Amino acid sequence: MSTVRRPDHRSDHRSARSARTAGLRHVLTHLITPLLMCIGMGLAYLGAFAHPAPHHLPVAVVGSGPSAQLLAQSINDKADGDLDVRTVADRSAAVDRLRHQDIFGAYVIPGESQQAAKASKDVKGAQSAHGVGRAAGASSGPAGRSGAGGAAGSAAPVPELLVATAGSDTSATVAQKVFTPIAAHQGAPLKVTDVAPPAEDDPTGQGIFFLLVAISIGSYASVAVIGGAGAVLPLRLRTALALGVSFVVALIGTAFAGPVFHLVDHGLGGLWALAWLYSAGILLIGTGLHTFLKRWTTLGVMTLFVMLNFTSSGGIFRPEMQNGFFAALHSFWNGAGFVEGTRSHVYFDGYGLPGHVWTLAGWLVVGLLTVGVAALAEKRRRTAEAEETAQAAAVAAAAVAATVPEPALAAPVHGAGGAAVALEEGEEEMAEAVGV
């Protein structure tokens, strides 16, 4: 009597459950990257922008008399470290310091600038002939005094606040909030004069920051493509691709800043050079890091060039409005070099520009060094893999020769399996890089 063997459904269920478990583990592992991005972006952006407050923000009171000294000391005492108030001799000196971004607001006390100008004119007038001066006074006489009195009556001196919004609109706003109540206490409206306004189509001056964002995304997203799709290419060719992409990204950024959105109305050549230095540094660093980080490269470059970069660039809040960590990063990070370098080039006659260019050049050098270290690592890896392959082939050949009469059947199977695994790993890495 024959027996029919029933199929083992329990075995099929176990196989399906095992496949689902492996697939779920695979998905959960890959979800680590976006979750870490969420945590990092929250910590960086909220830590940098959530509670902006001045920390020793430099402002000035214009005047050399006791009233200016007393007002500056009084504001310093009440500010409790939020402001760094100093005095400058006259209005022209205040304008010069604003254009050098040594201060971010200068309060001109009513009558101080007129007194300084009068003193200067008195010195020059003392050199003229006494008879000519008397004749001029007799000819003008009462009419001249009444005219001066009428001018004074019709245009009485009012307190004035000098700012440079191209350097930082938010810092200028803080300075205005500080000195508006002081002017109101003196019974006069505050006149605000912008000595370095931004472009007409960029009234807040923050367009440069958003230009930084566009160039950064084009740069670090290209790193994922060059590292993923170009992983089979030699590092020398990947480096050339990175430099070429940085050239194109800088051109796109310059087009956005100039003819498209008119954020900058002059100096586009210098802007392109700054954008290229900035983009090339990101692409070279990312290309070199991919050799070591593989599928974690996207998270790495986002940490360096988004989380720590945008928040310390000074595009929204200058370092005087941030905590010590991001203020310290501002002094050497590449985003700050691009933003401050562009401001200096476009709005402040190039003052301080060499230092910002050196900052960007330093990051470019770091990128070249990273690529060099990656080249050495890849060379050692290829040498080790070649030695392991040769040793494994020799062992396999000896074993086959000793035991199997037909040795040609075993080796191709191993090679095909290894190629399949390598292809699968490459496709998985590329899919993840492009997806992120």
Token duo for residue 384: 């080790």
Q: For the segment 408-428, what is each residue's pLDDT rounded down to a tens digit?
A: 444 444 444 444 444 444 445
Q: Are 321 and 309 in contact (CB under 8 A)?
A: no
Token duo for residue 177: 């909030």
Q: For the segment 171-209, what is each residue's pLDDT rounded down to a tens digit?
A: 999 999 999 999 998 888 999 999 999 999 999 999 999
Q: Are 105 and 60 in contact (CB under 8 A)?
A: yes
Give the range among 17-26, 207-216, 337-346 with minimum mean pLDDT.
17-26
Q: For the segment 204-228, what is each residue's pLDDT rounded down to a tens digit?
A: 999 999 999 999 999 999 999 998 8
Parallel, antiparallel or unpaired: strands 83-88 and 57-62: parallel
Q: For the segment 261-312, what is each residue's pLDDT rounded down to a tens digit?
A: 999 989 999 999 999 999 999 999 999 999 999 989 999 999 999 999 999 9
| Strand runs labelled E in 96-219 | 106-108, 160-163, 191-194
